[in-house]
Amino acid sequence: MNIHRALAEVQDLKEHLGEEFRGRVAYNFTDTPEVRFEGFQFPPGWKNTRGSRHGRVLFELPESYPDHPPHVYVDGEMRFEGGRPAAMAPARQDGDSKWVPLSVFPSERNWDPEANSLTTAVTQLMEVLQAPDREIPIESDAERTNDTDEHAEPSEANDDRTDESSEGSEQ
């Protein structure tokens, strides 16, 4: 994994999320190649078992990142309109947490390591979450920068969680 690029992309991602994102972005690439989002606001139609639209998201960066896209997981308690959409695969256990893989990049051909980044992955995640049973075309970061009004961004409300600042470790 290209750690320097991943660290730079996390910083770009935090800027992209801006102040509207009231959750927490956590990473520590020396221990695990992951970026975790706590308090991620899911679009309408999504709720967890407690009735909140806020949940956790995990990006697992493969050893070959950025040549291959991140694997995206959502909290196993999240449901879309009461059920699991086809984009969600069977759950996996991670300690006390249950994560469900979410098909954000239908194939590796949908990922261009020269044009895509973690910001692309979050934008694509939001597109898939808004219509989880529909295939969404993927834009490069450059294309998205030229046309930002069409893309929803995560989180504005802070209804059932504490406000936490972003954190990370660059050890």
The CATH number assigned to the domain holding 33 equals 3.10.110.10
Domain-embedded: residue 70: yes
HSE-CB at 10 with a 13 A cutoff on CA atoms is 24
Whether the per-residue pLDDT at 112 is higher than 90: the answer is yes
Domain-embedded: residue 167: no
Report whether 141 contacts 8 (CB < 8 A).
no
Residue in this structure with the two tokens 């196993």, named with its chain if needed: 76
Domain-embedded: residue 132: yes
pLDDT more than 90, % of the chain: 50
Tokens matching residue 97: 């947490």
- Residue 11 is predicted with a pLDDT of 96
Residue in this structure with the two tokens 């995206």, named with its chain if needed: 72
- Residue 95 is predicted with a pLDDT of 62
145-162 per-position pLDDT tens digit: 555 444 444 444 334 433
Q: 57 is in which domain, residue-wise? A: 3-150
Is the pTM here over 0.85, yes or no?
no
DSSP secondary structure letter of residue 110? G
Domain-embedded: residue 171: no
pLDDT band at 4 (very low <50, low <70, confident <90, very high): very high
Domain-embedded: residue 156: no
Domain-embedded: residue 168: no
Report whether 3 contacts 32 (CB < 8 A).
no
Report the DSSP beta bridge partners of residue 75. Answer: 99
13-45 per-position pLDDT tens digit: 999 999 888 899 999 898 899 999 999 999 999
Domain-embedded: residue 56: yes
pLDDT band at 92 (very low <50, low <70, confident <90, very high): low
Domain-embedded: residue 166: no
pLDDT band at 169 (very low <50, low <70, confident <90, very high): very low
Q: Count how many domains the chain has.
A: 1
- Residue 57 is predicted with a pLDDT of 96
Greater confidence (18 vs 94) lies with: 18
